[in-house]
Amino acid sequence: MATNKEILRLAIPNILSNISIPLLSTVDTILMGRLSEVHIGAVGIGSMIFNFIYWNFGFLRMGVTGMTAQAFGQNNDLKIAQTLGRALIVGFFVVAVMLIFQKPIAALGMQLMNIESTLQQELLLSYFYIRIWAAPATLASYVVMGWFFGMQNAIYPLIWTLVLNVVNIIANYALVIHFGMEAAGVALGTVIAQYVGLAVGVFLLFYKYGSLLQLIQLKSILIWEEMKSFLKINNDLFARTLCLTIAFAFFYSQSSAGGEMILAANVILLQFLNWMSYGVDGFAFASESLVGKYFGAKDESKTRQAIRLTFIWGMGLSAAFSLVYWIFGIPILNIFTNQPEVVAAAIPYLFWVIVLPFAGGPSYLWDGVFVGMTAAKDMRNSMFIALVIYFASFFFLQQAFGNHGLWAALLLFLVARGLIQWILFSRKGMKLT
C-alpha cells in the first residue's frame, strides 16, 4: 500500500522546490514595491502575460508526468524514453512560434490587460522583450522536470529549482538595486537564471538517465499514430490550462481597470495565493507520480490509498496557510511594500486570501490525481464549467461589491473546480478517461 513515508519522500522535495517558485515573484514584487505602485503593476502584469503563455503550455509538464509515471509502473523503458523525446519536439515547436510572434503577443497582452498609462506601457515592454528570450529554457525545463516527476524522482527537480531561484534572486537584486535597471533588470535576471537552471537540469538528466536517453530515436518518435496519442492527451490539458490562465488574466485585467492602487494591492495579495498553491502542489505532484505509477500498474487499492493520503496531507497544509495568513497577514503585506497607501488599499481584501487556501486546496489536489490517471478530458470539462461559474458570479457580484466581488468570484471558481472534479471521480472512479 501507498504509505505516508512514500508520499512525504516525494512531497517534501516538491514542496521545497515549488515554494521557491513564488519566491521569485515575491522578490520581484518587493523590489518593485520599493519604487512605485506603477512598477508593481507593470511587472505584475508582465509576469501574468508570461504566466498566461507558459501555463497554457504547462501540459508539457503534466502530460509528460502522467504518461511517464504510467510507463514507469509498467516497467516500459522504451515508452519512458520516447515520451521525453516527443515532448521536447513539441516544446521546441512552441518556442519557435513564440519568438516569431513576440511583437503581436506583447501588443495583445497590453490590450487585454487594460494598460493605459504611458509609463506602465514602457516598463511592461522593456520587461517583455527581454524575458521572452527565456522561453526556450523555460519550456525545456517544463518537459524535463515533468519527466523527472514521472520517474518518481523529486530530488533532481528540487536541486534544479533551488539553483535557478538562487541565481534569479541574486541577479535580480544586483541588476535592479546596483545597476538601476528597474523592470528590465527583473526580466534579465530571469533569463540568466533560466539558462543556468537548464544547464544544471541537462547535466542531471545525462548523469542519471544516460542509458535511457539512448533509447530515444527520432524515427520512432515521429510515428504519427504514437504522436497523435501524445497530442490528444496534451490537447485536452492545453484546453484545461487555457481556461485557468483566462481566469487569472481576467482577474488581472479587472484589477487594472480598477486603477493603479487596486492593481498594486491585488498583485501583492495574489502572492499569498501563489505561495499556497505552489505549496499544496507539492502533494499534488506527489499524487501525479504515485497515482500514475499505481494506475499504470492497474493496482486500484494502492491508487486509492495514495489519493486518500495526499488529500490528508495537502488539506492540512492548506489549513496551515490560512492560519498563517490570518495571524501574520498585515506584517506580510509590509514585507511586500514600504508604501503605506498600498498596504492600506490591500488590507480590506486580506480576508479573501485567508479563506482561499482551505477553500481552493481540493482543486489543486484533484489536479494531481487526474494528471496521474491522464484523465485530461475530465480535467478540461471540469475547468470549463468552473470558468463559466466564475464569469457568471463576477458579473453578478462585481457591480454590487466592487473588488470584493472580484475576489468572491475567484473563490467560487476554485471551489467549483474542486467540487466538479470530486463529482466526476465519484461517478467514474478508476475508469476516468
Please report, in tens digits, the pLDDT of each residue of the chain (433 residues total): 556 777 888 778 877 766 655 566 566 666 666 566 666 666 777 777 777 777 667 777 777 888 888 888 888 888 888 888 888 888 888 889 889 998 888 887 777 666 666 666 777 788 888 888 988 998 898 889 889 988 988 889 889 888 988 898 888 888 878 887 777 788 888 899 989 999 999 999 999 998 888 877 766 666 666 666 666 767 787 788 888 888 988 898 888 888 878 888 898 898 888 888 878 888 888 888 888 888 888 888 888 898 999 999 999 999 999 999 999 988 988 887 777 888 899 999 999 999 999 889 999 999 989 988 878 889 899 999 999 999 999 999 988 898 999 999 999 999 999 999 999 998 876 565 5
pLDDT at 408: 96
pLDDT per residue over 261-289, tens digit each?
888 889 889 888 888 887 888 888 888 88
pLDDT at 336: 75
pLDDT at 394: 94
Burial (CB < 10 A; 0-12, 13-18, 19+), residue 55, is middle
DSSP states of 121-154: HHHHHHHHHHHGGGHHHHHHHHHHHHHHHHTT--
Amino acid identity of residue 186, one-letter, is V
| Structural domains in the chain (count) | 1
Owning domain of residue 270: 4-431
b (16+ CB within 10 A) / e for 305-319 = bbbebbbebbbebbe
Which long-range CB contacts under 8 A does 171-180 form with residues at least 24 apart? 172/24, 172/27, 172/28, 172/31, 173/27, 173/31, 176/31, 177/31
pLDDT at 260: 78
pLDDT at 267: 84
Burial (CB < 10 A; 0-12, 13-18, 19+), residue 220, is middle
Amino acid identity of residue 26, one-letter, is T
Question: Do 329 and 107 touch, CB atoms closer than 8 A?
Answer: no
Interacting residues of 346 by C-beta distance below 8 A, sequence separation 6+:
265, 266, 268, 269, 333
Burial (CB < 10 A; 0-12, 13-18, 19+), residue 227, is middle
Kindly list the distances between the CA atom of residue 418 and the CA atoms of 27, 191, 204, 323, 336, in Å, as whole numbers in the listed order. Answer: 30, 35, 35, 21, 30
H or E segment to which residue 42 belongs: helix 37-56
